[in-house]
Homo-oligomer: A and B are copies of this chain.
Amino acid sequence: MMNPVEEYIFTVQPFEIDFRGKLTFPLLINKLLNAAGQHADKRGFGIRDINKINRSWVLSRVYLDLTRCPKDRENIKVETWIEGLLRTFTQRNFAIYDETGNALGYARTVWSMIDMETRRPVNLMSFGIDQYIHIKECPVAKGGKIILPDDTSALDTFTIKYSDVDINQHLNSAKYVEHIFDAFSLDEIKQHNTIQRFEIEYVEECRYGEKISIFKKEVQPNDFIIVLKKEDGTITCKSRILFTE
């Protein structure tokens, strides 16, 4: 049987780095999602395989603990494997390593498979996912409830455009993260040093053309809650970013 752990190797490219000379955080999430895609493709339950039967994967949670961000031109290895499978959810984990094998961070993610018409979750049994369930060290703290203080007012808004959307014309999971990080000024990112913890809960899909408001609050020193809402006030995603002192 195929190895349950997939390796996805990449080199940080010059146009993937931010003002710190490090891989932009949204692109780090993008790389994890690419690793997940490669793992699922090779094992027969990739998005293109399941699209044929009118199903699609939807990312619902990401919990990431990071010790440092990949640097410009650094060779990085992402390992990904499936840790658990429930009827309508599967848990996929990630480990991020530098060239010498030191772990830079770990992530836990939760996915569901949806019917592309109803957009409702479907039963995950019968895709042969269970045979790849694997237990491997993944030290990531459990996610708590993400609560935005009521007194938080909108910081900014954006409209979902061409480069934001996936093949279903929904805001792509990696682009959410880009919009969340764009809610921080360079000074905020500088003074808060490195990202230690990132959490995101995808609550409701957004379509092309929708206008999204960004709410952001520092609830504890270095600890931020960012929530994206639709025009009608519906929460589309909740996020938490904890910077190191």
Contact = CB atoms under 8 A, between A and B. Distances in A.
A72 to B, nearest CB: 7
A26 B189 contact: no
A56 to B, nearest CB: 11
Contact of A186 (B34, B186, B208): B208
A41 B73 contact: yes
A30 B18 contact: no
Interface string A189-225: 1000000000000000000110000000000000000
B13 A34 contact: yes
A51 to B, nearest CB: 10
A168 B17 CA distance: 11
Interface in A119-165: 161-165
Contact of A14 (B20, B37, B165, B209): B37
A162 B174 contact: no
A182 interface: yes
Contacts of A189: 162
Given A21-B167, A162-B181, A163-B26, A15 B186 contact: no
Query: What range describes how many residues of A lie at the interface?
Result: 35 or more
Contacts of A41: 73
Interface string A168-186: 1100111000100110111
Contacts of A168: 19
Contacts of A165: 18-19, 186
A15 B173 contact: yes
A48 interface: yes
B26 A14 contact: no
A109 interface: no
Given A26-B163, A162-B184, A169-B186, A33 B19 contact: no
A17 B166 contact: yes
Given A15-B37, A15-B174, A18-B167, 9 more contacts: A15-B172, A15-B173, A17-B167, A19-B168, A19-B208, A21-B167, A162-B182, A162-B186, A169-B186
14 contacts: A13-B30, A15-B30, A15-B173, A16-B34, A17-B166, A18-B162, A18-B166, A19-B168, A19-B208, A20-B167, A21-B167, A24-B162, A48-B73, A163-B178
Closest 5 CB pairs of A and B: A161-B182, A14-B37, A13-B34, A15-B174, A163-B178
